[in-house]
Structure 1
Amino acid sequence: MIDVPGPTEWVARGEVGVGPWPGPWPDDDRYDPELLEHGDRRNVVDAYRYWRREAIVSDMDTRRHPFHVAIENFQHDHNIGTVVRTANAFAAAAVHIVGKRRWNRRGAMVTDRYQHLHHHATVAGLAEFAGERGLTVVAVDNMPGAEPVETAELPRECVLLFGQEGPGLSGEAKDVAERVVSIAQFGTTRSINAGVAAGIVMHTWIRQHADPGLAW
């Protein structure tokens, strides 16, 4: 993959996406003239082919689910890109980075351009954001007293909070969490990859609250 300037944003080597628009151009300001002329090779669903990035974000805002995803980033966690990409796939309301502002965007596969992102210097800042909006903070960690996510009913409006690879959730994150859920594991390690854990819990929310008939 290579980044290219302008509204095409993302392109893959080979014949991916669609070529120039055939026939008369649509009279609709959601469409990008450059994409109509040269083709759309971005990694977007067919419904958004040829659309401007801003138009895609605006339309997605009518489809997003009321759950948020947060991940701590005190050691430049390399899983954040994967978390952002998965949050975009499940139409999360927003992704929150807690701690260091900078993170490796490679794993996001440019989905961060269509996903609302927020930064909080501290966990307390995230907790304040959640409290102002009536969002339940649900931490994910395999710790004593945690509810098995396999049987827990996740709140519809919530923040799913994940720790870093290795150390897991910080003590501050555990303190602000109103609930803690764990993922059942049957092997030898204490934890699983943070990006994988985020995908499992997000999909649990989707199974409980989303309408599969609205998926692309």
Structure 2
Amino acid sequence: MKAISSRDNPAVRRLHALAGSARERRKHGETLLDGAHLLTAALQVGWPLKEVVVSDHGLAQADIASLLERAAGVPVLHLPDRLFAHVSPVDSPSGVLAVIDLPAPPPVKTLRDTVVLLDGVQDTGNLGTILRTAAAAGVADVLLTPGCAQAWAPRVLRAGMGAHFVLRIHEGVDAAERLAAFPGPVIATALAAGARNLYQTDLARPVAWLFGAEGQGLSAEVAALASETVIIPMQGAIESLNVGAAAAVCLFEQVRQGQRSS
């Protein structure tokens, strides 16, 4: 374990850059995992850790001490709490983080099973939540258009809670090109007249789901790819849901229908 106490140390400067800059993450080909839960999820699937960073507070936590034992052989940096807070990618430092390599893009292949396409989703919490929901619903491939937040940003990873390690995440995709040969319906949620009730729509089949940005929804180009539109029935004066909540409702209605038909 190597102890560092200076903010000017090159390792500290690199960690600080990785925490806050997508450009620096791309430059170094690395990103940060924050928190014992996320590091544990990575170790459970054999995801390689390049370096572990722990604070004074972290070393005093039994779960983090156990985690360091599981990560035996991985270089460890020990930072004072104030310095760890400086490099932490979140507002409330967890006491432990790890450096990993950004993964290579997954291979391009014909999509035949249910897939989620996200268009311009920039909120890191929403993006991570949708990735987690997709993984929980059994989706294997998630496509992100160029307007989305960086999928492997530390805050997205934290919100995903390990989903990144079991998904194939395709960034910067051309939506029309990737969905051109999709064998099932391409479905978008909409408030417009003519949209079918979600619960009256046949979802016991492969579906390409389209979910758009938090404010403006789908771009015109992506919306035009939809072969069907559905609406989520809501009570009272509420007209719409957060995109993360809408994705959860749609994906788990599909899960429910699939279980009923099996």
The verdict on a shared fold, with TM-score over 0.5 as the criterion, is: yes
Deviations, residues 20-41 of structure 1 (Å, cap 9, x unaligned): 9xxxxxxxxxxxxx85989xxx
Q: Structure 1: 5+ residue runs without aligned partners?
A: 21-33, 39-64
Q: Structure 1 residues 182, 6: CA separation in 2 closer, same or farther (over 3 Å shift)? A: closer
Decide which of 198, 202, 206 is 1:153's aligned counterpart: 202
How far is 1:15 from its partner?
Answer: 5.4
Decide which of 54, 59, 70 is 2:117's aligned counterpart: 70
How far is 1:126 from its partner?
Answer: 1.8
Distance (Å, rounded) in 2 between the aligned partners of 1:119 and 1:91: 19
Distance (Å, rounded) in 2 between the aligned partners of 1:5 and 1:209: 31
User: Is contact 1:66-1:157 (8 Å) kept?
Assistant: yes
More helix by percentage? 2
Q: Structure 1 residues 135, 188: CA separation in 2 closer, same or farther (over 3 Å shift)? A: same
Query: What is the root-mean-square deviation in Å for CA atoms of aligned residues?
Result: 3.5
User: Is contact 2:204-2:261 (8 Å) kept?
Assistant: no
Instruction: Provide the residue aligned with 2:235 in structure 1.
Output: 186
Trace 1:1-216 onto structure 2 (pairs within 5 A). 1-2=35-36, 4=39, 8=43, 66-73=113-120, 76-78=122-124, 79-100=126-147, 102-103=150-151, 104-105=155-156, 106-121=158-173, 125-154=174-203, 156-210=205-259
How does the TM-score come out when normalised to structure 2? 0.54
Instruction: Provide the residue aligned with 1:43 in structure 2.
Output: none
Q: Structure 1 residues 97, 210: CA separation in 2 closer, same or farther (over 3 Å shift)? A: farther
The residue identity in structure 1 corresponding to 2:163 is T
How far is 1:166 from its partner?
Answer: 2.0
Distance (Å, rounded) in 2 between the aligned partners of 1:147 and 1:90: 22
Displaced runs of 4 or more, over 4 A: 3-7, 12-16, 34-38
The residue identity in structure 1 corresponding to 2:234 is Q
User: Is contact 1:146-1:181 (8 Å) kept?
Assistant: yes
Q: Structure 1 residues 173, 187: CA separation in 2 closer, same or farther (over 3 Å shift)? A: farther
Q: Structure 2: 5+ residue runs without aligned partners?
A: 1-34, 50-57, 74-111
Distance (Å, rounded) in 1 between the aligned partners of 2:223 and 2:175: 13
Distance (Å, rounded) in 1 between the aligned partners of 2:177 and 2:117: 13
Distance (Å, rounded) in 2 between the aligned partners of 1:14 and 1:184: 46
SS of residue matched to 1:168? coil
The residue identity in structure 2 corresponding to 1:71 is L
How far is 1:171 from its partner?
Answer: 1.8
Distance (Å, rounded) in 1 between the aligned partners of 2:39 and 2:114: 32
User: Is contact 2:116-2:210 (8 Å) kept?
Assistant: yes
Structure possessing the higher radius of gyration over alpha carbons: 2
Q: Structure 1 residues 80, 212: CA separation in 2 closer, same or farther (over 3 Å shift)? A: farther
Distance (Å, rounded) in 1 between the aligned partners of 2:40 and 2:63: 19
Distance (Å, rounded) in 1 between the aligned partners of 2:63 and 2:228: 47
Count of aligned pairs: 167
The residue identity in structure 1 corresponding to 2:199 is E
Q: Structure 1 residues 189, 167: CA separation in 2 closer, same or farther (over 3 Å shift)? A: farther
Distance (Å, rounded) in 2 between the aligned partners of 1:160 and 1:7: 27
